[in-house]
Chains A and B, each alone.
Chain A
Amino acid sequence: MIRLLNHQNRSAYPALVRAMHADRKRVFVDMLKWAIPHDTEFERDQFDDGRAEYLVLHDPASGEHLASMRLLSTEGPHLMTEVFPYLCAGGILRGPDIREITRFCIAPRRRAADRRLARNMLVRAMVEYGLLTGIRSFTAACNMGFLSEVLSAGWRCHPLGMPQVVDGSLIGALRIDIDPDTLRMLVGSWSCDPVDLRLVENDTALAA
Protein backbone atom coordinates (compact mmCIF):
# COMPACT_ATOMS: atom_id res chain seq x y z
CA MET A 1 0.00 0.00 0.00
CA ILE A 2 1.16 3.54 -0.75
CA ARG A 3 0.17 6.28 1.63
CA LEU A 4 0.49 10.03 1.29
CA LEU A 5 1.91 11.46 4.50
CA ASN A 6 1.66 15.18 5.19
CA HIS A 7 1.51 17.48 8.20
CA GLN A 8 -2.11 16.48 8.82
CA ASN A 9 -1.68 12.74 9.16
CA ARG A 10 2.02 12.25 9.82
CA SER A 11 1.59 11.95 13.59
CA ALA A 12 -0.79 9.02 13.09
CA TYR A 13 2.02 6.86 11.63
CA PRO A 14 5.02 7.37 13.93
CA ALA A 15 6.50 3.89 13.30
CA LEU A 16 6.33 4.26 9.52
CA VAL A 17 7.89 7.74 9.64
CA ARG A 18 10.74 6.44 11.81
CA ALA A 19 11.26 3.45 9.50
CA MET A 20 11.46 5.79 6.50
CA HIS A 21 14.06 8.03 8.14
CA ALA A 22 16.04 4.95 9.21
CA ASP A 23 16.07 3.56 5.65
CA ARG A 24 17.05 6.99 4.33
CA LYS A 25 20.03 6.92 6.71
CA ARG A 26 20.98 3.42 5.45
CA VAL A 27 20.68 4.37 1.79
CA PHE A 28 21.91 7.96 1.56
CA VAL A 29 24.42 8.12 4.41
CA ASP A 30 25.72 4.56 4.86
CA MET A 31 25.59 3.33 1.26
CA LEU A 32 25.79 6.41 -0.95
CA LYS A 33 27.97 8.40 1.52
CA TRP A 34 26.12 11.66 1.01
CA ALA A 35 27.32 14.44 3.30
CA ILE A 36 23.88 15.29 4.76
CA PRO A 37 22.60 15.80 8.32
CA HIS A 38 21.98 12.57 10.24
CA ASP A 39 22.42 10.89 13.59
CA THR A 40 23.32 7.27 14.28
CA GLU A 41 19.86 6.04 13.35
CA PHE A 42 18.02 8.56 11.18
CA GLU A 43 18.54 10.89 8.26
CA ARG A 44 16.42 14.04 8.23
CA ASP A 45 17.09 17.62 7.28
CA GLN A 46 15.57 21.09 7.45
CA PHE A 47 13.16 20.29 4.59
CA ASP A 48 11.48 17.51 6.60
CA ASP A 49 9.19 20.10 8.11
CA GLY A 50 5.44 20.65 8.10
CA ARG A 51 5.46 21.56 4.42
CA ALA A 52 6.93 18.27 3.23
CA GLU A 53 4.77 15.53 1.77
CA TYR A 54 5.80 11.90 1.36
CA LEU A 55 4.62 9.03 -0.76
CA VAL A 56 5.43 5.91 1.22
CA LEU A 57 5.19 2.32 0.01
CA HIS A 58 4.87 -0.11 2.88
CA ASP A 59 3.74 -3.61 3.68
CA PRO A 60 0.42 -3.10 5.47
CA ALA A 61 0.77 -6.44 7.27
CA SER A 62 4.23 -5.99 8.75
CA GLY A 63 4.44 -2.20 8.58
CA GLU A 64 7.81 -2.51 6.84
CA HIS A 65 8.92 0.57 4.90
CA LEU A 66 9.66 -0.50 1.30
CA ALA A 67 10.20 2.76 -0.59
CA SER A 68 9.43 6.43 -0.31
CA MET A 69 9.98 9.86 -1.80
CA ARG A 70 9.69 13.35 -0.42
CA LEU A 71 7.75 15.97 -2.36
CA LEU A 72 8.44 19.63 -1.68
CA SER A 73 6.49 22.64 -2.85
CA THR A 74 8.62 24.68 -5.25
CA GLU A 75 7.01 27.91 -4.06
CA GLY A 76 8.97 27.96 -0.81
CA PRO A 77 12.61 27.08 -0.22
CA HIS A 78 13.52 23.62 -1.56
CA LEU A 79 16.72 21.86 -2.59
CA MET A 80 16.91 23.50 -6.00
CA THR A 81 16.80 27.00 -4.46
CA GLU A 82 18.89 26.29 -1.36
CA VAL A 83 21.40 23.59 -2.37
CA PHE A 84 21.62 23.21 -6.17
CA PRO A 85 20.69 26.57 -7.75
CA TYR A 86 23.77 26.31 -9.99
CA LEU A 87 22.31 23.22 -11.71
CA CYS A 88 19.53 25.25 -13.30
CA ALA A 89 21.09 27.27 -16.10
CA GLY A 90 17.75 28.49 -17.39
CA GLY A 91 16.42 29.53 -13.99
CA ILE A 92 14.74 27.49 -11.26
CA LEU A 93 11.35 26.10 -12.17
CA ARG A 94 8.76 27.07 -9.54
CA GLY A 95 5.00 27.16 -9.26
CA PRO A 96 1.89 25.75 -7.61
CA ASP A 97 1.77 22.93 -10.18
CA ILE A 98 5.43 21.92 -9.78
CA ARG A 99 6.80 19.66 -7.02
CA GLU A 100 10.37 18.76 -6.30
CA ILE A 101 11.22 15.09 -5.74
CA THR A 102 13.92 14.41 -3.17
CA ARG A 103 15.10 11.44 -1.07
CA PHE A 104 13.83 8.82 -3.52
CA CYS A 105 14.62 5.83 -1.36
CA ILE A 106 14.19 2.12 -2.02
CA ALA A 107 14.73 -0.03 1.07
CA PRO A 108 17.97 -1.94 0.50
CA ARG A 109 16.93 -5.19 2.16
CA ARG A 110 15.10 -6.71 -0.79
CA ARG A 111 16.56 -8.20 -3.98
CA ALA A 112 16.88 -6.35 -7.27
CA ALA A 113 13.60 -7.61 -8.76
CA ASP A 114 11.63 -6.60 -5.67
CA ARG A 115 13.37 -3.24 -5.51
CA ARG A 116 12.51 -2.60 -9.14
CA LEU A 117 8.88 -3.43 -8.46
CA ALA A 118 8.94 -1.05 -5.47
CA ARG A 119 10.42 1.63 -7.74
CA ASN A 120 7.67 1.06 -10.32
CA MET A 121 4.87 1.20 -7.74
CA LEU A 122 6.20 4.38 -6.18
CA VAL A 123 6.67 6.07 -9.56
CA ARG A 124 3.19 5.06 -10.65
CA ALA A 125 1.78 6.48 -7.41
CA MET A 126 3.73 9.69 -8.02
CA VAL A 127 2.22 10.08 -11.50
CA GLU A 128 -1.30 9.28 -10.25
CA TYR A 129 -0.91 11.71 -7.37
CA GLY A 130 0.27 14.36 -9.83
CA LEU A 131 -2.69 13.78 -12.13
CA LEU A 132 -5.18 13.86 -9.25
CA THR A 133 -3.84 17.08 -7.75
CA GLY A 134 -3.06 19.05 -10.88
CA ILE A 135 0.72 18.76 -10.74
CA ARG A 136 2.17 19.41 -14.18
CA SER A 137 5.85 18.76 -13.56
CA PHE A 138 8.23 17.25 -11.06
CA THR A 139 11.78 18.51 -10.73
CA ALA A 140 14.72 16.66 -9.20
CA ALA A 141 18.46 16.79 -8.80
CA CYS A 142 19.61 13.44 -10.14
CA ASN A 143 22.90 11.56 -10.09
CA MET A 144 23.77 11.31 -13.78
CA GLY A 145 24.71 7.68 -13.21
CA PHE A 146 20.98 7.00 -13.08
CA LEU A 147 20.09 9.15 -16.08
CA SER A 148 19.72 6.24 -18.51
CA GLU A 149 17.46 4.45 -16.04
CA VAL A 150 15.32 7.56 -15.46
CA LEU A 151 15.01 8.22 -19.20
CA SER A 152 14.12 4.58 -19.91
CA ALA A 153 10.72 5.18 -18.28
CA GLY A 154 9.87 6.80 -21.62
CA TRP A 155 8.25 9.89 -20.08
CA ARG A 156 8.98 13.43 -21.15
CA CYS A 157 12.10 14.34 -19.21
CA HIS A 158 14.19 17.44 -19.83
CA PRO A 159 17.45 18.66 -18.31
CA LEU A 160 17.31 22.05 -16.56
CA GLY A 161 21.01 22.74 -17.00
CA MET A 162 24.38 21.12 -17.55
CA PRO A 163 25.37 18.54 -14.94
CA GLN A 164 28.11 19.46 -12.47
CA VAL A 165 30.52 17.47 -10.36
CA VAL A 166 29.35 17.71 -6.72
CA ASP A 167 31.38 15.88 -4.03
CA GLY A 168 32.83 13.60 -6.71
CA SER A 169 29.47 12.72 -8.28
CA LEU A 170 28.01 14.06 -11.49
CA ILE A 171 24.67 15.67 -10.62
CA GLY A 172 22.11 17.25 -12.95
CA ALA A 173 18.70 18.88 -12.56
CA LEU A 174 15.79 17.32 -14.43
CA ARG A 175 12.16 18.13 -15.11
CA ILE A 176 9.61 15.36 -15.67
CA ASP A 177 6.30 16.40 -17.22
CA ILE A 178 3.13 14.58 -16.26
CA ASP A 179 -0.03 14.18 -18.29
CA PRO A 180 -2.61 11.42 -18.72
CA ASP A 181 -0.37 9.81 -21.34
CA THR A 182 2.45 9.35 -18.85
CA LEU A 183 0.81 6.32 -17.23
CA ARG A 184 0.61 4.59 -20.60
CA MET A 185 4.30 5.27 -21.17
CA LEU A 186 5.32 3.31 -18.07
CA VAL A 187 5.61 -0.05 -19.78
CA GLY A 188 8.08 -2.93 -20.07
CA SER A 189 10.46 -2.98 -17.15
CA TRP A 190 8.62 0.02 -15.63
CA SER A 191 5.21 -1.62 -15.53
CA CYS A 192 3.30 -2.71 -12.45
CA ASP A 193 -0.27 -3.48 -11.51
CA PRO A 194 -2.44 -0.54 -10.43
CA VAL A 195 -1.28 0.61 -7.03
CA ASP A 196 -3.29 0.97 -3.84
CA LEU A 197 -2.71 4.67 -3.27
CA ARG A 198 -4.27 6.22 -0.13
CA LEU A 199 -4.44 9.99 -0.34
CA VAL A 200 -7.07 10.53 2.35
CA GLU A 201 -7.86 8.96 5.67
CA ASN A 202 -10.79 6.63 5.21
CA ASP A 203 -11.34 6.15 8.92
CA THR A 204 -11.35 9.74 10.20
CA ALA A 205 -14.65 10.74 8.61
CA LEU A 206 -16.37 7.76 10.20
CA ALA A 207 -14.93 8.55 13.59
CA ALA A 208 -16.01 12.17 13.49
Chain B
Amino acid sequence: MTEFADVEKFIGASRRAVTPKALDDLLADISAEMGFDHYALIHHVDLTPMNKRLTHMADGSLVALTNYPENWVESYVTRNIVANDPVLLASHRSNVGFKWDEVANFIKVTSTHREITRDTRQAGLGEGYTVPAHVPGEANGSCNFAMRTGRSLPERNLLMANMVGSFAFQAARSMVLKARDVPMVREHAPLTSRQLECLALVARGKSDWEIARILGIGSESVKHHVKMAREHYDVPTRIQAAFRAVFESQLTISDVVP
Protein backbone atom coordinates (compact mmCIF):
# COMPACT_ATOMS: atom_id res chain seq x y z
CA MET B 1 0.00 0.00 0.00
CA THR B 2 1.11 3.58 -0.61
CA GLU B 3 1.62 5.96 2.31
CA PHE B 4 -1.43 7.94 1.24
CA ALA B 5 -3.59 4.82 1.20
CA ASP B 6 -2.38 4.13 4.75
CA VAL B 7 -3.36 7.64 5.80
CA GLU B 8 -6.83 7.28 4.25
CA LYS B 9 -7.33 3.96 5.94
CA PHE B 10 -6.31 5.47 9.28
CA ILE B 11 -8.69 8.43 8.84
CA GLY B 12 -11.60 6.15 8.03
CA ALA B 13 -10.91 3.82 10.94
CA SER B 14 -10.30 6.67 13.41
CA ARG B 15 -13.70 8.17 12.52
CA ARG B 16 -15.40 4.85 13.16
CA ALA B 17 -13.57 4.27 16.46
CA VAL B 18 -16.08 4.45 19.28
CA THR B 19 -13.91 3.82 22.34
CA PRO B 20 -10.67 5.53 23.39
CA LYS B 21 -9.05 2.10 23.45
CA ALA B 22 -9.93 1.51 19.77
CA LEU B 23 -8.40 4.86 18.80
CA ASP B 24 -5.35 4.16 20.93
CA ASP B 25 -4.81 0.85 19.13
CA LEU B 26 -5.12 2.53 15.72
CA LEU B 27 -2.59 5.17 16.70
CA ALA B 28 -0.21 2.50 18.00
CA ASP B 29 -0.45 0.60 14.71
CA ILE B 30 0.05 3.53 12.39
CA SER B 31 2.88 4.99 14.52
CA ALA B 32 4.72 1.67 14.26
CA GLU B 33 3.94 1.48 10.55
CA MET B 34 5.46 4.93 10.00
CA GLY B 35 8.56 3.78 11.88
CA PHE B 36 8.11 5.57 15.22
CA ASP B 37 8.69 3.82 18.54
CA HIS B 38 6.35 5.95 20.67
CA TYR B 39 3.48 8.44 20.42
CA ALA B 40 1.72 10.84 22.76
CA LEU B 41 -1.49 12.54 21.62
CA ILE B 42 -2.33 15.12 24.27
CA HIS B 43 -4.12 18.26 25.29
CA HIS B 44 -1.63 20.66 26.90
CA VAL B 45 -3.48 20.82 30.20
CA ASP B 46 -3.05 19.36 33.67
CA LEU B 47 -2.67 15.65 32.90
CA THR B 48 -3.48 14.40 36.41
CA PRO B 49 -6.79 12.77 35.36
CA MET B 50 -4.85 10.48 32.95
CA ASN B 51 -5.13 6.77 33.67
CA LYS B 52 -4.52 3.48 31.92
CA ARG B 53 -8.20 2.66 31.55
CA LEU B 54 -8.53 5.88 29.56
CA THR B 55 -11.56 7.02 31.56
CA HIS B 56 -10.16 10.55 31.23
CA MET B 57 -11.22 10.39 27.57
CA ALA B 58 -14.44 8.46 28.10
CA ASP B 59 -15.62 11.03 30.67
CA GLY B 60 -14.68 13.98 28.49
CA SER B 61 -11.86 15.38 30.68
CA LEU B 62 -9.07 15.64 28.14
CA VAL B 63 -7.31 14.09 25.17
CA ALA B 64 -4.39 11.87 26.23
CA LEU B 65 -3.32 8.67 24.48
CA THR B 66 0.27 7.50 24.76
CA ASN B 67 2.61 4.53 24.77
CA TYR B 68 5.53 6.46 26.26
CA PRO B 69 7.46 4.42 28.88
CA GLU B 70 5.23 4.16 31.96
CA ASN B 71 7.78 5.56 34.43
CA TRP B 72 8.23 8.61 32.27
CA VAL B 73 4.50 9.23 31.97
CA GLU B 74 4.17 9.03 35.74
CA SER B 75 7.04 11.40 36.32
CA TYR B 76 5.79 13.70 33.52
CA VAL B 77 2.39 14.00 35.19
CA THR B 78 3.54 14.34 38.82
CA ARG B 79 6.21 16.92 37.93
CA ASN B 80 3.67 18.73 35.70
CA ILE B 81 6.23 18.83 32.90
CA VAL B 82 3.42 19.59 30.43
CA ALA B 83 3.56 23.21 31.54
CA ASN B 84 7.24 23.58 30.79
CA ASP B 85 8.09 20.96 28.18
CA PRO B 86 10.21 22.79 25.58
CA VAL B 87 8.72 20.65 22.81
CA LEU B 88 5.14 21.61 23.71
CA LEU B 89 6.09 25.27 24.17
CA ALA B 90 7.69 25.21 20.73
CA SER B 91 4.52 23.65 19.29
CA HIS B 92 2.59 26.76 20.39
CA ARG B 93 4.86 28.77 18.11
CA SER B 94 4.61 26.52 15.07
CA ASN B 95 1.72 25.66 12.79
CA VAL B 96 3.17 22.50 11.29
CA GLY B 97 5.25 19.55 12.45
CA PHE B 98 8.85 20.04 13.60
CA LYS B 99 11.69 17.87 14.84
CA TRP B 100 12.62 18.10 18.50
CA ASP B 101 16.17 19.18 17.65
CA GLU B 102 14.65 22.30 16.00
CA VAL B 103 13.03 23.50 19.24
CA ALA B 104 15.54 26.33 19.67
CA ASN B 105 14.22 27.86 16.42
CA PHE B 106 10.92 28.53 18.17
CA ILE B 107 11.65 29.30 21.82
CA LYS B 108 14.44 30.55 24.04
CA VAL B 109 15.73 27.36 25.66
CA THR B 110 16.33 27.78 29.40
CA SER B 111 18.27 25.61 31.84
CA THR B 112 14.96 24.10 33.05
CA HIS B 113 14.15 23.13 29.47
CA ARG B 114 17.58 21.52 29.05
CA GLU B 115 17.01 19.58 32.26
CA ILE B 116 13.67 18.29 30.96
CA THR B 117 15.27 17.31 27.64
CA ARG B 118 17.98 15.41 29.55
CA ASP B 119 15.40 13.60 31.67
CA THR B 120 13.40 12.74 28.54
CA ARG B 121 16.50 11.12 27.01
CA GLN B 122 17.23 9.22 30.21
CA ALA B 123 13.68 7.93 30.16
CA GLY B 124 14.50 6.37 26.79
CA LEU B 125 13.06 8.95 24.38
CA GLY B 126 15.63 10.46 22.03
CA GLU B 127 14.62 12.11 18.78
CA GLY B 128 11.05 13.14 18.12
CA TYR B 129 8.62 14.88 15.78
CA THR B 130 5.72 16.98 17.03
CA VAL B 131 2.59 17.93 15.12
CA PRO B 132 0.83 20.92 16.75
CA ALA B 133 -2.97 20.87 16.98
CA HIS B 134 -4.28 24.40 17.36
CA VAL B 135 -8.02 24.84 17.58
CA PRO B 136 -8.81 28.53 18.16
CA GLY B 137 -10.82 29.02 21.33
CA GLU B 138 -9.71 25.73 22.91
CA ALA B 139 -6.74 24.35 24.84
CA ASN B 140 -3.67 23.60 22.73
CA GLY B 141 -2.84 20.06 21.82
CA SER B 142 -0.28 18.06 19.88
CA CYS B 143 0.55 14.66 18.49
CA ASN B 144 4.10 13.71 19.44
CA PHE B 145 6.03 10.89 17.79
CA ALA B 146 9.24 9.73 19.46
CA MET B 147 12.16 7.36 18.93
CA ARG B 148 13.95 5.21 21.49
CA THR B 149 17.24 6.85 22.43
CA GLY B 150 19.82 6.15 19.75
CA ARG B 151 17.35 5.53 16.90
CA SER B 152 16.79 7.97 14.05
CA LEU B 153 13.51 9.50 12.93
CA PRO B 154 11.89 7.93 9.85
CA GLU B 155 12.56 11.05 7.72
CA ARG B 156 10.57 9.91 4.71
CA ASN B 157 7.36 9.57 6.73
CA LEU B 158 7.33 12.96 8.45
CA LEU B 159 4.79 14.47 6.01
CA MET B 160 2.61 11.46 6.62
CA ALA B 161 2.99 11.99 10.38
CA ASN B 162 1.64 15.54 9.91
CA MET B 163 -1.57 14.23 8.41
CA VAL B 164 -1.95 11.34 10.82
CA GLY B 165 -1.28 13.60 13.81
CA SER B 166 -3.91 16.18 12.80
CA PHE B 167 -6.62 13.64 12.00
CA ALA B 168 -5.83 11.61 15.13
CA PHE B 169 -6.20 14.73 17.28
CA GLN B 170 -9.56 15.58 15.72
CA ALA B 171 -10.82 12.02 16.24
CA ALA B 172 -9.77 12.12 19.91
CA ARG B 173 -11.08 15.65 20.43
CA SER B 174 -14.41 14.74 18.91
CA MET B 175 -14.64 11.71 21.21
CA VAL B 176 -13.93 13.86 24.27
CA LEU B 177 -16.39 16.57 23.15
CA LYS B 178 -19.16 14.02 22.72
CA ALA B 179 -18.54 12.66 26.21
CA ARG B 180 -18.91 16.08 27.79
CA ASP B 181 -22.18 17.30 29.15
CA VAL B 182 -21.08 20.84 28.57
CA PRO B 183 -19.51 21.99 25.33
CA MET B 184 -15.80 22.77 25.27
CA VAL B 185 -16.46 26.42 24.63
CA ARG B 186 -17.90 28.57 27.40
CA GLU B 187 -21.57 29.13 26.81
CA HIS B 188 -22.04 32.36 28.71
CA ALA B 189 -22.21 35.62 26.82
CA PRO B 190 -18.91 36.53 25.19
CA LEU B 191 -17.00 39.68 26.10
CA THR B 192 -18.28 42.76 24.36
CA SER B 193 -16.09 44.35 21.75
CA ARG B 194 -15.45 47.36 24.03
CA GLN B 195 -14.29 45.00 26.80
CA LEU B 196 -11.95 43.26 24.35
CA GLU B 197 -10.60 46.59 23.12
CA CYS B 198 -9.83 47.59 26.69
CA LEU B 199 -8.18 44.24 27.49
CA ALA B 200 -6.00 44.43 24.36
CA LEU B 201 -4.74 47.81 25.57
CA VAL B 202 -4.32 46.53 29.14
CA ALA B 203 -2.08 43.82 27.70
CA ARG B 204 -0.06 46.53 25.99
CA GLY B 205 0.59 48.06 29.39
CA LYS B 206 -1.70 51.07 28.97
CA SER B 207 -3.21 52.82 31.99
CA ASP B 208 -6.93 53.54 32.29
CA TRP B 209 -6.23 57.15 31.43
CA GLU B 210 -4.28 56.18 28.31
CA ILE B 211 -6.93 53.66 27.23
CA ALA B 212 -9.60 56.31 27.69
CA ARG B 213 -7.67 58.71 25.46
CA ILE B 214 -7.02 56.06 22.79
CA LEU B 215 -10.63 54.91 22.62
CA GLY B 216 -12.10 58.36 23.11
CA ILE B 217 -14.18 57.34 26.12
CA GLY B 218 -14.09 58.30 29.81
CA SER B 219 -11.69 56.74 32.35
CA GLU B 220 -14.67 55.59 34.39
CA SER B 221 -16.03 53.69 31.39
CA VAL B 222 -12.65 52.02 30.90
CA LYS B 223 -12.61 50.98 34.57
CA HIS B 224 -16.10 49.58 34.16
CA HIS B 225 -15.26 47.58 31.00
CA VAL B 226 -12.15 46.09 32.60
CA LYS B 227 -14.06 45.25 35.77
CA MET B 228 -16.76 43.47 33.76
CA ALA B 229 -14.07 41.50 31.92
CA ARG B 230 -12.47 40.47 35.24
CA GLU B 231 -15.84 39.35 36.53
CA HIS B 232 -16.50 37.48 33.28
CA TYR B 233 -13.39 35.37 33.87
CA ASP B 234 -13.69 35.48 37.64
CA VAL B 235 -10.11 36.67 38.09
CA PRO B 236 -8.80 39.34 40.48
CA THR B 237 -6.42 41.25 38.21
CA ARG B 238 -6.73 42.96 34.86
CA ILE B 239 -3.66 41.26 33.44
CA GLN B 240 -5.15 37.84 34.23
CA ALA B 241 -8.29 38.84 32.38
CA ALA B 242 -6.19 39.84 29.37
CA PHE B 243 -4.36 36.52 29.46
CA ARG B 244 -7.61 34.60 29.64
CA ALA B 245 -8.92 36.45 26.61
CA VAL B 246 -5.79 35.43 24.71
CA PHE B 247 -6.07 31.84 25.95
CA GLU B 248 -9.65 31.67 24.68
CA SER B 249 -8.57 33.24 21.38
CA GLN B 250 -10.90 36.16 22.01
CA LEU B 251 -7.72 38.13 21.44
CA THR B 252 -4.64 36.94 19.57
CA ILE B 253 -1.01 37.73 20.28
CA SER B 254 -1.06 40.14 17.33
CA ASP B 255 -3.91 42.04 18.99
CA VAL B 256 -1.84 42.63 22.10
CA VAL B 257 1.62 43.02 20.59
CA PRO B 258 1.53 46.06 18.34
A interface residues (Cβ-Cβ under 8 A, vs B): 89-90, 111-114, 116, 143-149, 151-152, 154, 158-159, 161-164, 170, 172, 187-189
Q: Which of B169, B170, B184, B196 counts the most A-chain CB atoms under 10 A from its CB?
A: B170
Complex Cα gap A144–B196 (Å): 29
Contact B4 A152 (CB under 8 A): no
A149: which B residues are within 8 A, CB to CB? 134-136
**Closest B residue to A165 using CB positions:** B159
Report the minimal beta-carbon distance from B45 to chain A, rounded to whole angstroms: 16
Complex Cα gap A152–B232 (Å): 26
B250: which A residues are within 8 A, CB to CB? 111-113
Contact A148 B96 (CB under 8 A): no
Contact A116 B4 (CB under 8 A): no
> Is B220 interfacial (CB 8 A cutoff)?
no
A188: which B residues are within 8 A, CB to CB? 137, 177, 183-185
**Closest B residue to A187 using CB positions:** B183
Complex Cα gap A187–B177 (Å): 11
Contact with A along B177-195 (1 / 0, CB 8 A): 1000001110000110100
**Closest B residue to A172 using CB positions:** B163
A113: which B residues are within 8 A, CB to CB? 190-191, 193, 196, 249-251
A148: which B residues are within 8 A, CB to CB? 132-135, 141, 166, 169-170
A162: which B residues are within 8 A, CB to CB? 3-4, 7, 159-160, 163
Complex Cα gap A148–B252 (Å): 17
Contact A111 B251 (CB under 8 A): yes
**Closest B residue to A143 using CB positions:** B95
B135: which A residues are within 8 A, CB to CB? 148-149, 152, 189
B interface residues (Cβ-Cβ under 8 A, vs A): 2-4, 7-8, 11, 95-97, 132-138, 141, 159-160, 162-163, 166-167, 169-170, 173-174, 177, 183-185, 190-191, 193, 196-197, 200, 249-252, 255
Q: Which of B137, B138, B252, B255 counts the most A-chain CB atoms under 10 A from its CB?
A: B137
Complex Cα gap A143–B135 (Å): 15
Assess A154 versus B174: contact at CB under 8 Å? Given A112-B249, A112-B250, A162-B7.
yes
A154: which B residues are within 8 A, CB to CB? 174
Contact A116 B163 (CB under 8 A): no
B137: which A residues are within 8 A, CB to CB? 116, 188-189
Report the minimal beta-carbon distance from A40 to chain B, rounded to whole angstroms: 23
**Closest A residue to B174 using CB positions:** A154
A114: which B residues are within 8 A, CB to CB? 193
CB within 8 A of A112: which of B2, B95, B97, B255? Answer: B255
Pairs A-B, 7 closest by C-beta atoms = A145-B95, A189-B137, A151-B170, A152-B135, A112-B252, A148-B133, A113-B250
Report the minimal beta-carbon distance from B238 to chain A, rounded to whole angstroms: 17
Contact B249 A159 (CB under 8 A): no
**Closest A residue to B142 using CB positions:** A148
Contact B138 A189 (CB under 8 A): yes
| A/B interface sample: 19 pairs, CB < 8 A | A111-B196, A111-B251, A111-B252, A112-B249, A112-B252, A113-B251, A144-B95, A144-B166, A147-B162, A148-B132, A148-B135, A158-B11, A159-B4, A159-B7, A163-B159, A163-B163, A170-B159, A188-B185, A189-B185
B183: which A residues are within 8 A, CB to CB? 187-188
Report the minimal beta-carbon distance from B122 to chain A, rounded to whole angstroms: 31
Contact B95 A146 (CB under 8 A): yes
Given contacts A148-B132, A188-B185, 16 further A-B contacts (CB under 8 A): A111-B250, A114-B193, A116-B136, A144-B96, A147-B166, A148-B133, A148-B134, A151-B166, A151-B170, A152-B135, A158-B8, A159-B7, A162-B7, A170-B97, A189-B137, A189-B185
Contact B163 A90 (CB under 8 A): no
Contact B11 A111 (CB under 8 A): no
